[in-house]
Amino acid sequence: MARQKVKVEQSRRKTRARPRLSLTTALGLIILVQGVALGLKAFDDQQDLRASKRAETPVEAQAVAQNVSGKIATAAQTLQLGYQAGWSSNQIQRAYGDIETVATLADALTAPDGSRLRVAGERASELLATGQQAGLTANNDLIIVHDPDSGSSHLAIASANSFLPAIRGERTLSIVDGQRSDTQLLSPTQAMACVPVSRGALSVCMSKSFTLMSRSAMIDLLVYALLLLGPSLAILGLFRLFEQNRLSSEAFEGEATRAGRILKTVLHQSKAGFWSLNEKTAMYQFSAEAGRLLGADGELQLSQREFLRLVHEDHVEAVEQALENLPERGFVQQVFANKTKTVWLDLRAQPDEDGGALNGILHDVTETKLALARTRQAENRLKSALEGYSGPFALWDARKRLIYWNRAFQRVFGLEPTVRAGMGYDTVMLSQAANVIDRRPSDDHDPADIVKIRDGEWFKIVERTTQSGGMITLGMDVSSDVRNEVELTKQQGRLRKLVAELERSETTAAELTRKLKEEKVNAERSANSKSAFLANMSHELRTPLNAINGFSEILIEEMYGPLGDERYKTYAQDILDSGKHLLEMITDILDMAKIEAGKMTVDLQPIDIVDPVDAAVRMIRRRAEDKNISLQMVANPDLPMVEADHRAIRQMILNLVSNALKFTDPGGEVRVTVDQKESELRVSVRDNGIGIPPDALPRLAQPFEQVSDTRDRNYDGTGLGLALTKSFAEMHGGRLTIASKPGRGTQVSFYLPVAQAQSASETSVA
C-alpha cells in the first residue's frame, strides 16, 4: 500500500514536472525573442533620441541667444538713455545692475596698455568699425557700445556670464566671440549647438548631455514588453491553466512594482509627492516624497492640526481656509511655505467620489517663486528708475495704447485727472494740448519736438519704436538750453554793437594798447627788481643770522668753558630764539616771493599722507609741552595714497600747528585730524583758543595779514603762515578752508585730491 502511494506521488510529480519543463523551455524562447525585440526597440529609440536632442539643442540655444540679445538691447538702451539724460557712470550702473563699468571710448583708449579698460576700448573701436553693438574681449568681458549722432562714444563693460540665464539639468552655456551657427554631436550622449547673437559679434553655445535611455523610452519599452508578453502568456496558457494564472499574477505584480518605481522616480525628479485626506478618519496621509518636502523623513499620517504645524506661520490661516472651503469649491489649490520658509509648495487635490478620500499632489515650486520674485524685483527697480527720472516717460503698446507712464509725464502735460491705462495715443495728445503752448521741431537731423508748457519749461520730446512694435515717449528738460540760446542771441546783438563801437574807436584802442604795453613792461621790471631784492636781502640777512645762531648755541652749550654769570646763558638763549624766529620769517618771505614769481615748485610723489603729518607733529610737540597744551593726532585707517610733496605737507602742518599753539592759552588742546571726504583727503588742525572774529575771516590767508583778539593781544610773526599753506595746497590741486568762533576756537583744513592716485590704483588692479 505504501509502495502504491509512493508510485502515485512520483507519478504526480512527473506529471507536474513535465509541463513545467516545457513551460521553462517555452519561456526561455519567449524571453530570447523579447530580448531581441526590446534590443531593436531600444536601439531605434536611441537613434530617435539623438535626433531629437540634436534638433532641440539649437532651438534652446536660439532662445538663449534671443534672451542675451534682449539683455544687450536693454543695456544699450540704458546706456543711451543715461547718455541723453546726462547721467554719471554710477547712475547708469545702478540703472542696470549687470553693467560693471561705464566709460567714454576716449578714456578707455587712453588707459594704460594691457589694462582691462584699454582692452575694452580697443575692442569697442573694432565693434564701431564693423557696425556691431556688442562683442567679447580676450578677458571674457562683454563690451556694449553706444555711438550717438553727436558727442563721444560710450562703452559698458559687463561679465559675459551675467548675461546668461540660469540653466537646469545637464546643460552648459557660454558666450563666444564671432558669429557661429552649427550643431554637432560631441559624443553619443552630448550635443552642442552655437547660434549667433543678433546684436553683436557674438554667439551663444549650448552643450547638452542626455542619457541613452530616457524615462519615456523606458516606459515605451515596458509597454512594448507588455504587448509582447500578452501573446506569450496566451501561448503559455495552452500548457497549463494554473501556470498561466500564476505567471499572470507574477507578471502583474512585477509590472506594478516597476510602475511604482517609475512613478517614484518621476515624482522624485519633479520634486513632488502624493497626499490624501480620509474624510472618515480626518487624517492626512503623505507619501515619503511629500514628507521630505514638508521637512520630515518618510511617510506621514497627521491630523489637520499636526499638518498645519509644518506650515509657515504666515500661511497657516490661508491653508486652513482652503481646506475648509473644499466642500464649496470642489478642489484645493494653495501655495504656501514650509515651517522654515526655505521651500515653497503647491498643494492641489480633488475629492475621490468613489473612495470617499481627498487625493492630491504636493509640488515644490520654490524655483518658480524665486523667479517670479526676481522678475518683480527687476520690474520694481526699473519703475523706480523711471519714477526718479525728472523728465516725462511713457510706454505704448503696438496699438499705441498707453501702458506705463511716470509722474513727470502727468505733471509736464497736465494729465493728472484724466490719464489712465489703455488710453489711445491721439486721446492723450489731445488732452495734453491744453498744457502745451508752443511746439517746434528740434532740427532737420533729429526727429524730435521742442515743446513749451504753461509754467515756462521747455522739453525735448523723442519718440522711438520698440522691437515689439510699441513706442517709447521720452522727454528731456532743455529749458536752460533754450534760455541760453535766447541769451546768446542777445549777446550776439550786443557784440555786434560793441564791434561797431570798437571800430569807431580804433585810434583810442591803439593808444590804450601802447600804454598797456608800457605799464606791463614797467610792472615786469618792478617784479623782477622785487624778486632780485628779496633774493639778495634774504642771502645778506641769512649769513649774519647763521653766525648769530651758531655763536649763541656755542655760548649756551658752554663749549669753551663756563660763562660765569647764569644770566649770560639766559641772554644767549634769548639771542638764539630771536635769531631762529627771524630766520623763519625770512624763509617765509622768500618762499612767498618765489610763489608770487612762479618759481616755487613741488615734487609730487605717491606718499602716505600720515607720514609727513606725523613728522611735523613730532617736531613741534616740544613747543606744545613747553606751553602746557595738549597736542593730539588722529588718523583714520586705510587711507589711500596721494600725489604730494613730503616737505611741503610737513611745512603746511608746522605752519598751522604753530598758529594754533600761538593763539591757544596754556591748558588748551590742539587736535590734528587726517581723514577722507569723498574724493579728497582732509587734514584739519583744530584748537580751542581765542578764535577769529567773523569780519576778519575774509582777510586771512592773504600775505602779511594778522588778526588780534578782542583783548588786543599782539602776536609775533609775519602773517605769512596761512598764505603759504594756502599756496602750497593750491599747488597740489587742493584748497584751504577756515572756520572759527570767537572764544571757542578755530579749525583750519586743507584738502588734497586723491582721484589721480585712486585711478592709478584701480588701473593697476585691473
What is the domain partition of the chain in residue ranges? Answer: 2-209, 270-388, 389-484, 508-592, 601-765
State yes or no: pLDDT of 682 exceeds 90.
yes
3-state secondary structure of 675: strand
- pLDDT score at 18: 43
Greater pLDDT, 17 or 532: 532
- pLDDT score at 357: 65
Greater pLDDT, 265 or 208: 208
Q: Which long-range contacts (CB under 8 A, 24 or more apart) does 575-583 make?
A: 575/548, 576/549, 576/552, 579/545, 579/548, 579/549, 579/552, 580/549, 581/716, 582/541, 582/545, 583/542, 583/545, 583/546, 583/549
CA 479 vs CA 148, 439, 486: distances in Å = 22, 13, 11
**Separation CA 456–CA 451 (nearest Å):** 10
Its pTM surpasses 0.85: no
Task: Tell me the pLDDT band of 291, cut-offs 50, 70 and 90.
Answer: confident
CA 264 vs CA 94, 257, 268, 272, 290: distances in Å = 47, 10, 6, 9, 11
Average pLDDT over residues 706-726: 59
Residue 49 Cα to chain centre, angstroms: 43
Could you say which of 2.60.120, 3.30.70, 2.60.40, 3.30.450 is the CATH number of the domain covering 389-484? Answer: 3.30.450
State yes or no: pLDDT of 587 exceeds 70.
no
Residue from 652, 592, 643 nearest 758 by CA: 643
Rounded percentage of the chain residues whose pLDDT exceeds 90:
7
State yes or no: pLDDT of 217 exceeds 80.
no
- pLDDT score at 599: 59
CA atoms in the 13 A half-sphere facing the CB of 165: 19
Greater pLDDT, 633 or 86: 633
- pLDDT score at 15: 43
Greater pLDDT, 180 or 762: 180
Task: Tell me the pLDDT band of 668, cut-offs 50, 70 and 90.
Answer: very high
State yes or no: pLDDT of 402 exceeds 70.
yes
**Separation CA 124–CA 79 (nearest Å):** 14
Ramachandran angles phi, psi of 459, nearest 5° = -130, 140
Could you say which of 3.40.50.12780, 3.30.565.10, 3.40.50.12160, 3.30.420.40 is the CATH number of the domain covering 601-765? Answer: 3.30.565.10
The answer to whether the CB of 127 falls within 8 A of the CB of 178 is no
- pLDDT score at 669: 94
State yes or no: pLDDT of 401 exceeds 80.
yes
Determine the angle formed by the axes of helices 506-557 and 566-597, rounding to 10 degrees: 160
State yes or no: pLDDT of 561 exceeds 80.
no
Quick one: CA torsion of 271, 276, 282, 284, rounded to 10 degrees?
A: -30
Report helix, strand and coil shares of the chain as percent, to nearest 5: 55, 20, 25
**Separation CA 98–CA 103 (nearest Å):** 15
270-388 and 389-484 in the same fold? yes
Q: Find the range with the poorest average confidence among 197-201, 297-301, 584-588.
A: 584-588
DSSP code at position 298: S
- pLDDT score at 743: 85
- pLDDT score at 2: 35
3-state secondary structure of 257: helix
- pLDDT score at 553: 75
**Separation CA 190–CA 211 (nearest Å):** 9
State yes or no: pLDDT of 80 exceeds 70.
yes
Average pLDDT over residues 265-279: 70
CA 45 vs CA 14, 41, 187, 375: distances in Å = 45, 6, 17, 39
Rg (alpha carbons) of the chain, rounded to whole number? 45
Q: What's the CATH superfamily of 270-388?
A: PAS domain (3.30.450.20)
- pLDDT score at 685: 94
**Separation CA 455–CA 436 (nearest Å):** 10
- pLDDT score at 238: 57
Task: Tell me the pLDDT band of 235, cut-offs 50, 70 and 90.
Answer: low
Which of 532-550 are b and which e, b meaning 16 or more Cβ less than 10 Å from the residue's Cβ?
eebeeebeebeeebeebbe
Task: Tell me the pLDDT band of 750, cut-offs 50, 70 and 90.
Answer: very high
The answer to whether the CB of 696 falls within 8 A of the CB of 715 is no
Task: Tell me the pLDDT band of 712, cut-offs 50, 70 and 90.
Answer: very low
- pLDDT score at 11: 47
Task: Tell me the pLDDT band of 493, cut-offs 50, 70 and 90.
Answer: confident
Average pLDDT over residues 14-42: 62
Q: Are strands 436-441 and 402-405 parallel, antiparallel or unpaired?
A: unpaired
State yes or no: pLDDT of 700 exceeds 60.
yes
DSSP code at position 735: E
**Separation CA 673–CA 227 (nearest Å):** 90
Rounded percentage of the chain residues whose pLDDT exceeds 70:
73
Mean pLDDT of the chain: 76
- pLDDT score at 354: 60
Average pLDDT over residues 650-663: 88
Burial of 612: CB neighbours in 10 Å, binned 0-12, 13-18, 19+: buried
